[in-house]
Amino acid sequence: MTDWAALAAEWLRDLAAMSEPGRGVTRLPFTQEHRAALDRLTTRMEEAGLSVRLDAAGTLIGRLDGPEGAPTLLMGSHQDSVREGGAFDGITGVVLPVLALRRLREEGVELPFAVEVLSFADEEGVRFPTALIGPRALADTFDPGVLEMEDGDGITLRAALEGFGLEPDAIAGLKPDPAGILGYLETHIEQGPVLEEACEALGVVTAISGIERHQLTLTGETGHAGTLPMELRRDALVGAAQIVGEVNRLARASPDLRGTVGALSVAPNVVNAVPGVVRMSIELRSPDDALRERAGVALQSFAHEVAAAHGLSCEITRSYHQPAQPCDPALSQQLTEAVRATGGRGLTLPSGATHDASAMADLCPIAMLFVRCHKGLSHVPEEYAQPKDLARAIEALCSFLASARV
């Protein structure tokens, strides 16, 4: 009998070697490492009985045909990595569906619908200042203007695609007929510690969190740290510290809100001068858009109040926002049942990270399966999912496919 845990681990280990030299995995889109991964995935897909093609956006597609005229279920994730990342992020969601289809084939199970496994080229946005090229192409939300964006070597995305043997002008015609698509299921390591803390191998995602970012500048007045009396100071960092604390307080007050001050600069930033200017970022994430937006408004108001109390000027603007994408209730319920069929509790949780599914939601209903990862680590070489958990995910995917209500 096939040892699916060992086979999944072997495939992922093999693909991890298709990386730039150095620590961890560095596999950027439209590079020789990308090509090597596509060649290996093509072989794996064909061995599982899939027909394989590469579309104009660089998405590798392995197709298992169904009955004539039957709709298609889409599954997949991305093959690219961050620099010096891990061996599981993204690529797990390509490998496990292929193995699930191989297992069903070995067991003689025929599905009443077609399945396509998608290996997207660029989700991380590391090489070019854009991302989600493949799913946006399928969802017809791809902006042709990004084709002229350049990487760090001055190569445009258009040139990279053409150098990879693709036709970028054909991307506009990639959208399938939504009427023939059942939905999109993405399998992904959790990238967080919730499943590990709950002693659960698998979880079902309720929504992909919305994101907003604010840029804040507090301006006071610098002066000599030894001669400027405390009561006369206009210390920008003291005000900023209160705002950092408020971000933390607001986020801790709601289990569905994440708040982070990830970037902060201080001027003049010397040991013996009062800080005169502080620039900082505030990022808020939540699966509940209304909750996130209320928190953003509250933080802007709080920042102005703090500035007034300390004699500071305050400039704060919302620089970015992305709405939450709820997962489809019907698909998610079927996925929960499949997880329970493997012995899991069917734990549900939101995703704080963005995924290919967030772009695919503009095409069709989406669902996501999370796989437990060690200590919640991701985007680092230490990223790891146990083989037995990978096997549980394969089993759940098989159950989902075999019992899917279409």
Pick the CATH number of 210-322 from 3.40.50.720, 3.40.50.12160, 3.30.70.360, 3.40.605.10: 3.30.70.360
Contact 117, 76 (CB under 8 A): yes
Quote the DSSP letter at residue 194.
H
Per-residue confidence (pLDDT) for residue 406, from 0 to 100:
66
Distance of alpha carbon 192 from alpha carbon 204, whole angstroms: 14
- Sign of the C-alpha dihedral, residues 62, 343, 202, 16? negative
Q: Looking at domain 4-208+325-403, which CATH architecture does it have?
A: 3-Layer(aba) Sandwich (3.40)
Q: pLDDT tens for residues 136-187?
A: 999 999 999 999 999 999 999 999 999 999 999 999 999 999 999 999 999 9
> What residue segments make up the domains of the chain, in order of their start?
4-208+325-403, 210-322
Q: What rounded mean pLDDT belongs to the chain?
A: 97
Per-residue confidence (pLDDT) for residue 404, from 0 to 100:
82
Per-residue confidence (pLDDT) for residue 212, from 0 to 100:
97
Distance of alpha carbon 134 from alpha carbon 130, whole angstroms: 11
- Could you give the dihedral angle defined by the CA atoms of residues 124, 349, 357 and 141, in that order, rounded to the nearest 10 degrees? -90
DSSP 10-56: HHHHHHHTSS-SSSSB---TTSHHHHHHHHHHHHHHHHTT-EEEE-T
**Buried (b) or exposed (e) across 2-19, using 16+ Cβ within 10 A?**
eebbebbbebbeebbebb
Q: pLDDT tens for residues 65-109?
A: 999 999 999 999 999 999 999 999 999 999 999 999 999 999 999
Residue 191 phi/psi, 5-degree rounding, is: 65, 25
Contact 356, 120 (CB under 8 A): yes
Per-residue confidence (pLDDT) for residue 27, from 0 to 100:
98
Per-residue confidence (pLDDT) for residue 1, from 0 to 100:
86
Residues of the chain with pLDDT under 50: none
